[in-house]
Copies of this chain bind each other. A is one copy, B any other.
Amino acid sequence: MATIYDVAARAGVSTATVSRWLAGQPVRAAAVIREAVEELGYSPSPMAQSLKSGRRGAIGVVVPDVTNPFFAAVVKGLEQASRGFGYHMLLANSDESSELEADILAELTPRVDGFILAPAHEQDLGPHALSEAGVPAVLLDREVSGGEAFDVVLVDNEGGARAAASHLVSLGHERIAMINGPTDTTPGRGRRAGFLAGLAEGDLALDPVYDMTGDFREESGRQITLQLLALPESPTAIFTANNLMTVGALKALRDMRVRVPDDISIIGFDDLSLGSLLQPPLTCIARPDVEQGALAMRLLLSRLTDGILDDGRHIVLNTSLLVRGSTRAPSAAHAPEIRPRLRARSGGATSE
């Protein structure tokens, strides 16, 4: 708890000189000051420094839920990339709620130099309040409408979802369901668009009955899957738009004793930590999560330290299709005899 005054007194110099020594400037009494600092165990008060300098030395990290392994990985990437830059991470979960997110942003804004933010919804106004307040923010995994001024680090949602669709189509599936997230989120919108495009390339359309929207959480994936299974003509393949909903879907399939991939194929966006251990191992669209975090942090740091002020930079990371065991051609019982043109619903037993 020693202050710069204690050091100055002990060294017999003024606080100004001590301050200069601390800043690395040449000082005659360097030896005496060093001694005093060491004996007192002095270290400058970050609060006082912040007050004077305006630099807060912290970065706000707002994600929907750290418990989601994707965001946990992102946070890890953020920390790795920020190490050595003298910034700390103020972490908060928005719980997918725009209101909570706005509260958090308001509370954190005066305490941080910048934000890494995964907005709950594209209509969020929070980020705009930030840019008005002059606090730089990098949007992570999700954009915000009218937010062209922000740096964004995205993943190729369209491409990934298209690849998922193509994969299913190429296997011969026609009764394909999508369990998507809210379409007022970037991933929800992009994955939907990509998936539809992928189907279209195979001359398929998404049957409205198979076009489901959840909330990116496990329970919704489970519920929707149960609904799909209860359909008179249940799908032969499901695309789940994120990791948590994939888990929910898998649990529903297990509970209903639907065999994967015999009865139904499933492909998820995002790999699961145990994806390769599942029986069958999960076919999925994987993406670089830690890197995505690291990249976002680097963008923010460049703005913070180099004072970059140009327009929002867009970075889109590539996904990769990991074909494992949870997808295969539909079983004979489900396969349509003649391939219809648009709606692929030529009858056949419902699964189980």
List A residues at the B interface (Cβ < 8 Å). 43, 45-48, 50-51, 56-58, 61, 65-67, 69, 72-73, 75-76, 79, 88-93, 107-108, 110-111, 247, 250-251, 254, 272-274, 276-279
Task: Please name the residue on chain B nearest to A100 by beta carbon.
Answer: B83
Taking CB atoms, residues of chain B closer than 8 Å to A111 are: 46-47, 57-58, 88
Given the known interface contacts A247-B273, A273-B247, A277-B250, the answer about A43 and B76 at a Cβ–Cβ threshold of 8 Å is no
A66 touches B76 (CB 8 A): yes
Which residue on chain B has the smallest CB distance to residue A43? B110
**Which of B51, B75, B79, B89 makes the CB contact (< 8 A) with A48?**
B51
A67-B72, A73-B67 known; A279 vs B278 contact (CB < 8 Å): yes
Given A47-B51, A79-B93, A88-B92: 19 more A-B contacts, CB < 8 Å: A45-B110, A47-B110, A67-B73, A67-B76, A76-B93, A79-B91, A88-B108, A88-B111, A90-B90, A247-B274, A247-B277, A250-B274, A250-B277, A251-B276, A272-B274, A273-B273, A274-B274, A277-B278, A279-B279
Copies in the complex: 2
> Given the complex, which residues of B lie within 8 Å of A58, measured CB to CB?
90, 111
Q: Which residues on B sit within 8 Å (CB–CB) of A276?
A: 251, 254
